[in-house]
Chains A and B, each alone.
Chain A
């Protein structure tokens, strides 16, 4: 637990008073306080390249009236600083005639434990383990030219003080373990990257030689790419593997279903509520309640408990993802998707764990049905243009499919598609839904937040593959 006020000339009572005064005649707003610790240890080129630790403290004061948000943040928690922030908000919101919405749902449910993963494992043991990771991965042969392995841990305590003195708190652990391998054979170099993580202690991921699986996977991906040939170029059928490839869902339609873009009518989905946006059999949810998963939150950054929000049910658009501001302006309720990277950032509607649910087909069936296409197993990053709906993602492991059989591996290529139409092109949904290993970070308006994705294998009728082979 953290007490933001015991080393400050600002008492909790003072803070509550300033918040209530500032938010008088506003529709919403709060004081958000954050105390976060993070560490990063990186082994690279056979050496510990860096070990760093960071301790951050700060607040953000937000006032919302109508469609207008006024925000002021600082890392100095003092009476003067908060007063100055309050004055800044006043000067922006000259005419305000809102009524503060005091309603906020409470919850007793927690989706992760109150632990500090950084302190749970000694630095020495983390350093030792990275050394072991390096030795183990390099022992796979002389073709291993470079190994990078890293731990990142975070412990974030947040407190929200609302007008009237209502207080909400959350303690959020987060860790990540990552291995990257570069192989060289006959003058050709390729990399493979794999990682795992979530909201729990390092031990959960590193016991029983779980870390070896991460090294094996990074090595395997790099080995596959060493044998890869140039990717084809043009429109063709695409089978996506289960798990992490669901970043297609995240980019292609997830962002387009965030409340702000739809309230502002800049999303290609804004006038499609209740309409068919995907093939029958396609159901997509955004779930913040999965235990210890990277995208999960007990409460969001406005204090709303998270939930499992059905976005698309059997192909029909059912809900957008909402924070309090956009929900109020669209006459609906917050779905617990109000998130911010830190106290330095305003709240935006953001995804949590975005998942396409199981259908009834097998991956084998899908591959058999394809004459000419590709089978994409793993991806790097993706990006979307919300307005035109065009999205891309980059394959890091993919194969050709010829006459219903998996052929040789192909070089990393970008796949491009159109968000609003891509889900209508999904012709088969698999029965093998899988969550990603816990490595996703989503960027929006310059803010990064941890997210998860999940899907079964799916068959897409046509997508453009950005290879070099015509």
Chain B
């Protein structure tokens, strides 16, 4: 730049401040555009990191299998058939399986000395805690010993601690389920796992599965050795699809299905599910980033429009400046600086707005956002690009004015 930068900058600042209202209106499009691009890139980055950081979590290594439910009418080829304890043992034996557990549960009213509360009563085996990524906070877990002896012991979740005991120490207390007394031997630490039915994932009472089968769930149609569903955790994520295939093989064999028959059970691979969710989020953020880009372009057209107006309004001034020695490049620089300054300020405001809006939406949404300098620079850079691209035409028009005609301009 031939004219010292500071003078040009002061000049540009001055002309923006001369028309503050118009300046603000012009900036609006870019502000919104940058905010949108910034927020959306942050969401995209959030979903990307979510996949990365959860890649080794228990949840990301989990497979669940469910039998098909029989409809009322016998339209299905086979009736609903539950899995068995043998299925669980067979799956546990698959190489690469870290833990597997059967689920047998029902909701009951839990009664203490002073209160009662409805919770999910789950009959468990020793691998239950591991497969559900649960941790004992106090006391003991349910082990092989309690299971073999069919003891009436219970390990309770945090919601039960809160709602049933209300500040009292539940350890060693007795609770009654269907009038059968159970002794609380342990408490599970709070979990933030997502329950696939949207239920409270801390509202449970764990009891030995044979105890439950014999004394609680026995009234149900469930017969000996049966479980509702099986949950499996693989040692690492890369083995999951192989494990999934082996499960399919084992289950078909145990249910007498050939390889080309439709299965009467479903396999859910949580990590695949999760990746699909992340994929959706990515697509969403891409879509919104596109909207941001469109908004930037519209904002840019606004900048161009207002700069053209400004050039027309200041034709005589441009003519004068040229007459007293301004070169075309000086005028070009002056208007380009003005457009750039406009977009720099808009860009900064846009980053601020994007951050503020995302802070508000973070409180209400499950959307994960990650802010990084890279994303901020990228969004800010897009504003600069808009300023240069859309500011160039008006600036060039100004720099090519004929000073004689410009001075005569009314």
A pairs with B: no
- Measured CB to CB, the residues of A under 8 A from B are none
- Measured CB to CB, the residues of B under 8 A from A are none
